[in-house]
Amino acid sequence: MSLKIDHKKLIMRIPGTGNFITLDNEKCTLCGRCLIICVMNLWKKSDDRVHLVDDYASHCLECGACYQVCESGAIDFRYPAGGTGIVYAKG
Partner 1 sequence: MENYDVIVVGAGPGGSIAARESAKKGLKTIFFERGRKPGEKNSSGCGLGPRMWRDFDFMTELTPEDCPSLRPGAAARNYLVNNDGEVSGYLMTKPTDSVTYEPARSWITMNCYRSEFDPWLAKYATDAGAVLKTSTLVTGLLKENGKVSGVIDEKGNKYSGLVIGADGAISMVARESGLRQRWEQEQVTIVPQYDFECPPSKIDDVMGDEALAVWWSATFPAAYQVFFNDGFHIGLGNWMTWWEKNPMHYLNQVVALKYFQRQIRILEAKPREFQVHLLPWQGQPHDTHADNVILIGDAGGFPCPLEAEGIYPAMVTARAAIETAVEAISAADVSKEFLNLYDAKWRATSVGEEFKTGPELASIWKALPFSPLKTMSWFVPMLMEIIGGIFDWSEPHAVRVRQIARRVKQYLPNAIPFIMREVIPLLTAILGEENMNLLTDPEKLIAAMPELEEAIARSFVENDMEEK
Contacts of 32-36 with CB under 8 Å at 24 or more apart are: 33/69, 33/70, 34/65, 34/66, 34/69, 34/70, 34/75
* Nearer Cβ to partner 1 (10/47): 10
Which residue(s) pair with 44 in the sheet?
Answer: 51
> Minimum distance between the CB of residue 3 and partner 1, rounded to whole angstroms?
6
Task: Please state the closest distance from residue 58 (CB atom) to partner 1, in A.
Answer: 15
Q: Under the rule (CB under 8 A), what is the footprint of partner 1? A: 2-5, 7-8, 10-12, 14, 33, 36-39, 41, 61-65, 67-69, 71, 73, 77-83, 85-91
* Entry field: residues in the chain: 91
